[in-house]
Amino acid sequence: MRFLWISLGVLFILAVAALVTGSLWMGSYVRSEPFRGLISNATGEVFDAAAVFEPLRWNGSSVYSESAGLQGAPGSALRRLEASQLRAEVNWRAAFSGAWRVEEISMTRLDGEWGPSDKSGAAARPGNMQSPAGLAALLPHRFELGLLKIDNANLAFDGVRISDSALSVRPDGSGWVFQGTGGELRLPWPPVLGITSFRAREQGGALFLTEGQLRVGENGKITASGESSGGGTLQVSWEEVKAADILPEKLRKHLDGTLSGNALVSFPEQVTGTVRMREGRIENVPLLATVADFTGNPSFRRMPLQEVNGDFLYTGGTLQVKNFSAESKGLMRIEGSAVLEKGGGLNGRFQVGVTPQTLQWLPGSRERVFKQARNGYLWTELSVGGTVGHPTENLSARLIEAMGVEAIDRGTNLLKDAPGAATEGVRGVLDILRPLVP
Please name every residue paired with 184 in a beta bridge, in sequence order, or none if there are none: 163, 194
Return the pLDDT at 388. Answer: 79
Is-contact 61 91, C-beta < 8 A?
yes
State how beta strands 57-59 and 143-157 pair.
unpaired
Between the CA atoms of 53, 54, 57 and 63, what dihedral angle is there, to the nearest 10 degrees? Answer: -30
User: To 10 degrees, the CA torsion angle through 5, 11, 17, 19?
Assistant: -120
Burial (Cβ within 10 Å: 0-12, 13-18, ≥19) of residue 100: buried
pLDDT at 415: 41
The predicted structure's pLDDT at residue 427: 41
Distance CA 258, CA 237 (A): 14
Per-residue pLDDT of the chain in tens (438 residues, 90 and over written 9):
555 444 444 454 444 444 444 444 455 556 667 766 766 776 667 667 788 888 888 887 788 989 988 888 887 778 888 999 999 888 767 666 667 677 888 999 999 887 777 655 444 444 444 455 554 455 556 667 778 899 999 988 777 888 999 999 888 877 889 899 999 988 777 788 999 999 988 877 677 888 899 999 889 999 988 876 556 788 999 999 998 888 877 778 888 999 999 999 887 678 999 999 988 998 888 777 877 877 778 888 888 999 899 999 999 889 999 999 999 998 889 999 999 998 889 999 999 998 888 877 777 778 888 889 999 999 999 999 998 778 888 887 887 787 766 554 554 444 445 444 443 433 443 343 444 444
CA gap 203, 351 in Å, rounded: 50
Cα–Cα dist 62/87, whole Å: 7
Instruction: Give the integer Cα–Cα distance in Å for 337 and 347.
Output: 9
Q: What are phi and psi of 177, to 5 degrees?
A: -110, 130
In sign, the C-alpha dihedral spanning 372, 375, 378, 379 is negative
pLDDT for the residue numbered 23? 46
Strand segments (E) across 142-269: 143-157, 160-172, 175-181, 184-186, 193-203, 206-216, 220-227, 233-242, 255-266
Neighbour-count burial for 167-206, b at 16+ CB within 10 Å, e otherwise: bbbeeeeeebbbebeebebebeeeeebbbbebebbbeebb
Q: Are 207 and 215 in contact (CB under 8 A)?
A: no
Q: Which helix (H) or strand (E) holds 428?
A: helix 420-433
Q: pTM for the full model?
A: 0.68
Per DSSP, the residues of 240-278 read EEEGGGTS-HHHHTTEEEEEEEEEEEETTTEEEEEEEEE
Residue 87 and residue 68: Cα distance in Å, rounded?
A: 11
- DSSP at 128: S
**Beta-bridge partner residues of 235:** 225, 264
